[in-house]
């Protein structure tokens, strides 16, 4: 078994366990919380997402970029510098959180101070996890990555169940997230401290900040493009309707989760592979496999997830099932927009990422606001799909201008059109989606076999010529 496949299997096992636990807990949490509380939980999670982008400072992407060229001691220095820099940011965030918290809690008195403190501490502690986890992926220690992240998920699930049982409600869910994040951060930092000879390189740190600074703004703008719709929905249609959207989005995000075993291996390694012999061909092959696999996952979730909603969840959440197919398609476009970006990160400072995310943020704020006011959840769902389709197109065009890769766009466009068409027909009868998925599965399986079958080695003409000469 190749090392790449072995690493991907570890990532897959860890993700299946983590997401499987989260999936099992989803109906438990939804059943224990009112739709209003679940809507509030979704808003807190969106704050954690955008806060993680800001505190991350683009260091993960910077580490990916520089790790492809660093060897030996330089590699250790790079990783230790990144970790020290991330911890420094976390300490600064903790100090800044005091005046910010006082301002927020005095301005918006309806916010629970306990919940605010729990979310803030979770955010700061989670930022300390970023660099050690990235280091584990760079050194191909997927086994430890699996053990630590899976145990964190199990601990969080047990604590959540216990806190809900004792009536802590939303606060209990947030507390379990804080305690499990503290557990993971402690083990990761101890492991990295014992494995690396920690040192600080000011020049490397400056390069990483220079590379990551545009990514902070672009990441924050990305949140606006895919996160602000929750706040817009809460303001226009209320927390109860937001809860429907949040449940549907949880299922749609399974598409991204299913892609993660490959992306967890691919994204840290893509520049290393690109620099190998025949690197462009390998990059195209892997990227296209990810794209087609993502579309198949989206169709699969669109078919099966609504059945789970209608059978496992309280009746008050059943409306969510009708939005899952379209949101799954939107998440597929989102994953494709991440996959086809290799060229955008070639430059020393990826300003194009910031430019595209700025365009998408402005478009998202405008479109989400108008669609929510005019059409409610339905408008936001369809806007989500269109915006991410546009994002995928823009990132691919920008990437190709900087790094020409010979992708098979007709195949990809045909596959996307197929998925979109049958998801649309699903509104009339689920039979259409079943038929479309069955045909898609057969064609996709055939494509995989053709794309990844071993190539025949060219015949050695010199040997045949030599043999013929001997016969003469």
Predicted confidence (pLDDT) per residue in 445-472, tens digit: 999 998 887 765 554 444 444 443 444 3
- Residue pLDDT, tens place only, 424-444: 999 888 899 999 999 999 999
Question: Could you give the CA distance from residue 173 to residue 164 in angstroms, rounded to a whole number?
Answer: 7
Structure tokens given for 44 = 């807190």
pLDDT at 471: 44
Determine the Cα–Cα distance for residues 380 and 372; give it in Å rounded to an integer: 6
Examine the pLDDT at 372 and tell me if it is beyond 50.
yes
Residue 57: strand, helix, or coil: coil
pLDDT at position 270 is 81
Tokens of 145: 């990555």
Query: Pick the residue with more confidence: 405 or 108?
Result: 405
Question: Which of 287, 290, 284 is CA-nearest to residue 261?
Answer: 290
Per-residue model confidence as pLDDT tens digits over 131-184: 898 888 888 788 898 899 899 999 999 999 999 999 999 999 999 999 999 999
Give Cα separations from 226 to 44, 139, 221, 367, 369 (angstroms): 15, 32, 9, 12, 13
442: which residues sit within 8 A by CB, 6+ positions away? none
Residues 356, 394 contacting (CB under 8 angstroms): yes
Give the model's pLDDT for residue 392: 95
Give the start-to-end residue ranges of the domains of the chain.
1-211, 226-451
Query: What is the predicted pLDDT for the residue at 472?
Result: 39
- Residues in CB range of 347: below 8 A, 6 or more apart: 402
| 205-219: average pLDDT | 77
pLDDT mean over 385-403: 93
Residue 207 has pLDDT above 90, yes or no: no
Crossing angle of helices 59-67/254-274, nearest 10°? 40
**Candidate ranges 218-227, 357-366, 419-428; pick with highest mean pLDDT:** 419-428
First and final CA of the chain: distance in angstroms?
A: 45
Predicted pLDDT at 225 = 66
Q: What is the mean pLDDT of residues 214-233?
A: 75
**Planar angle of CA 39, 43, 44, nearest 5 degrees:** 115
**pLDDT value at 342 more than 60:** yes
Task: Give the least confident one: 39-48, 153-162, 300-309.
Answer: 39-48
8 Å CB contact between 93 and 242: no
* pTM of this structure: 0.75
Instruction: Answer yes or no: is pLDDT of 23 > 90.
Output: no
- pLDDT at position 465 is 43
CA angle 314, 253, 214 (to 5 degrees): 140
Gap between the Cα atoms of 96 and 111, Å rounded: 19
Predicted local confidence at residue 226, as pLDDT: 64
The 10s digit of each residue's pLDDT in 3-20 is: 667 777 787 788 778 878
| CA–CA distance, 240 with 450 (Å, rounded to integer) | 48
Mean pLDDT (the chain) is 86
- pLDDT of the residue at 252: 94
- What is the per-residue pLDDT across 47-74, written as a single tens digit (0 to 9) for each? 888 888 888 877 887 887 777 666 777 7
């Amino acid at each position: 078994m190749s090392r790449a496949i072995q690493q991907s299997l570890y990532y897959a096992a860890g993700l299946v366990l983590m997401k499987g636990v989260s999936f099992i807990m989803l109906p438990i949490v939804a059943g224990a919380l009112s739709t209003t509380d679940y809507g509030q939980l979704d808003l807190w999670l969106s704050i954690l997402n955008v806060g993680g982008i800001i505190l991350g400072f683009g260091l993960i992407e910077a580490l990916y970029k520089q790790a492809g060229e660093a060897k030996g001691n330089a590699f250790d220095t790079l990783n230790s510098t990144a970790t020290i820099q991330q911890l420094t940011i976390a300490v600064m965030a903790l100090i800044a959180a005091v005046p910010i918290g006082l301002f927020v809690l005095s301005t918006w008195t309806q916010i629970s101070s306990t919940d605010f403190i729990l979310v803030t501490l979770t955010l700061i502690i989670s930022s300390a996890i970023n660099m050690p986890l990235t280091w584990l992926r760079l050194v191909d220690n997927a086994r430890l990555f699996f053990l630590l992240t899976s145990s964190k998920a199990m601990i969080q699930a047990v604590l959540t169940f216990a806190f809900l049982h004792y009536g802590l409600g939303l606060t209990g869910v947030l507390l379990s997230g804080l305690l499990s994040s503290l557990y993971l951060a402690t083990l990761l930092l101890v492991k990295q401290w014992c494995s690396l000879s920690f040192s600080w390189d000011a020049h490397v740190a400056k390069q990483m900040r220079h590379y990551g600074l545009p990514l902070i703004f672009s990441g924050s703008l990305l949140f606006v493009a895919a996160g602000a719709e929750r706040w817009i929905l809460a303001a226009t249609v209320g927390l109860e309707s937001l809860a429907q959207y949040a449940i549907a989005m949880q299922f749609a995000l399974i598409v991204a989760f299913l892609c993660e075993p490959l992306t967890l291996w691919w994204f840290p390694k893509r520049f290393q592979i690109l620099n190998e012999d025949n690197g462009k061909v390998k990059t195209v092959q892997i990227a296209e496999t990810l794209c087609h696999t993502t579309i198949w996952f989206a169709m699969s979730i669109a078919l099966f997830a609504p059945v789970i909603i209608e059978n496992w969840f309280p009746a008050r959440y059943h409306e969510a099932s009708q939005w899952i197919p379209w949101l799954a398609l939107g998440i597929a476009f989102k994953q494709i927009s991440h996959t086809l970006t290799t060229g955008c990160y070639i430059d020393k400072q990826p300003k194009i990422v910031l430019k595209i995310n700025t365009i998408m943020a402005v478009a998202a704020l405008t479109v989400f606001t108008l669609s929510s006011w005019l059409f409610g959840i339905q408008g936001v769902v369809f806007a989500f799909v269109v915006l991410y389709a546009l994002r995928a197109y823009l990132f691919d065009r920008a990437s190709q201008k900087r790094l020409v890769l010979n992708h098979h766009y007709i195949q990809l466009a045909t596959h996307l059109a197929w998925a979109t068409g049958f998801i649309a027909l699903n509104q009339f009868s689920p039979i259409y989606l079943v038929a479309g998925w069955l045909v898609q599965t057969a064609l996709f399986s055939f494509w995989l076999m053709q794309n990844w079958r071993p190539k025949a080695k060219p015949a050695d003409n010199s040997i045949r010529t030599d043999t013929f000469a001997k016969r003469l």
